[in-house]
């Protein structure tokens, strides 16, 4: 029953929104979620210490908009990237390949899979892939300036472990949000 209720909350939330909302309300909702996501992500650049704790919450609006509709989720993700280019360019790479990609991965998983573990694994794969792209392709010191952007086996398993538990956190938080938003 618990496994069934996870995707059920998201489906009820999505169905009620898509059936009752006009196109204007849908676009306005996605625009507000996009703006919220951009503001939360840019907090990492505007508020040096506290922003590091605020910017991870940019994942929530991406999960919500992607759960409402795959099309709206991808549109919101791309618009958030565009807004970040304008207001906080230093956060674009981080949002595109970590925070936002995790939200897209979990949001799309709500449409495809129904089990909690599948949702967690899809989010973890999206996040781990994004982290590896940032580290290996862009050579960006995502883990801090003292850690070289090269991957060895212990670091890979540490990142995979982190991605799994971080994705688990977001799946649980999104289920909580959908229960609240359903009312």
Q: What is the pLDDT of residue 167?
A: 96
Report whether pLDDT(3) > 60.
no
For 19-44, give the DSSP string.
Answer: HH--HHHHHHHHHHHHHHHHHHHHHH
Model pLDDT for residues 111-135, shown as the tens digit of each residue: 888 788 999 999 999 999 999 999 8
pLDDT over 60 at 153, yes or no = yes
Confidence of residue 168 (pLDDT cuts 50, 70, 90): very high
Dump pLDDT digits (tens) for 6-28: 667 677 777 778 888 888 988 99
* pLDDT score for 1: 43
* End-to-end Cα, the chain, rounded Å: 20
Q: What pTM does this model have? A: 0.89
Q: Taking CA 78 as the corner, what is the angle to CA 127 and CA 65, rounded to the nearest 5 degrees?
A: 75
CA–CA separation, 2 and 104 (whole Å): 23
Kindly report the average pLDDT of the chain as a whole number. Answer: 87
């Amino acid at each position: 029953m618990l496994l069934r209720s996870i995707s059920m909350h998201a489906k009820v939330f999505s169905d009620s929104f898509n059936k009752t909302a006009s196109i204007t309300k849908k676009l306005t909702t996605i625009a507000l979620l996009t703006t919220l996501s951009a503001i939360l992500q840019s907090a990492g650049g505007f508020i040096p210490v506290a922003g590091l704790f605020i910017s991870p919450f940019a994942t929530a609006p991406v999960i919500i908009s992607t759960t409402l509709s795959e099309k709206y989720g991808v549109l919101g993700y791309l618009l958030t990237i565009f807004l970040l280019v304008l207001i906080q360019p230093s956060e674009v790479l981080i949002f595109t390949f970590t925070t936002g990609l995790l939200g897209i991965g979990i949001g799309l998983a709500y449409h495809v899979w129904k089990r909690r573990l599948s949702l967690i694994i899809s989010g973890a794969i999206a996040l781990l892939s994004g982290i590896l792209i940032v580290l290996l392709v862009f050579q960006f010191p995502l883990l801090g300036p003292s850690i070289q952007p090269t991957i060895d086996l212990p670091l890979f398993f540490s990142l995979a472990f982190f991605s799994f538990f971080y994705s688990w956190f977001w799946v649980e938080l999104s289920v909580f949000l959908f229960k609240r938003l359903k009312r």
